Amino acid sequence: MEKFLMARFDVYINPGSHANTTPYLLDIQSDLFDGLDSRMVIPLRSVKNFPAVKLPTRLMPLVTIGGQDYLLETPKMSAVPQRILKSPVASLAEMQAQITSALDFLFHGY
């Protein structure tokens, strides 16, 4: 099997049991740690699966993949085995500032 380089802000298909509501995982781990067997990810959940309440957009920015809208479920980020992340389907590198801001807001409150 060919090994590919993982890149921060790449988006992968979620192979887990919640893939119907949360079809993607966003890799947020620094590329410096490609040698680890796990990656930190943020689930991308379809906006259709959120209740009709005002969501904290700084904490949970909106992204569009394949014409569909998703929210970063930043509070639900977690480590996953690197082996479950297959070929990336998109990159959110252009949203680095918003993603980093969401992480800063989660951890520091600003």
CATH code: domain of residue 91: 2.30.30.110
**Smallest Cα–Cα separation from 82: which of 37, 43, 44, 41?**
37
Q: Residue 38: in which H helix or E strand, if any?
A: strand 38-46
Q: Is residue 34 part of a domain?
A: yes
Single pTM value for the model: 0.90
Q: What is the pLDDT of residue 80?
A: 96
pLDDT digits (tens, 9 = 90+) for 27-53: 999 988 888 899 999 999 999 887 767
Q: Is residue 4 part of a domain?
A: no
**Smallest Cα–Cα separation from 89: which of 27, 42, 35, 34?**
27
Give residue 64's domain range.
Answer: 10-108
Asked whether residue 1 carries a pLDDT value surpassing 50, the answer given is no
- The CB density around residue 38, as the number of other CB atoms within 10 Å, is 15
Confidence at 4, pLDDT banded by 50, 70, 90: low
Q: Is residue 90 part of a domain?
A: yes
Domain count for the chain: 1
**Mean pLDDT across 93-105:** 96
Asked whether residue 65 carries a pLDDT value surpassing 80, the answer given is yes
Asked whether residue 2 carries a pLDDT value surpassing 60, the answer given is no
- Report which of residues 53 and 86 the model is more confident about: 86
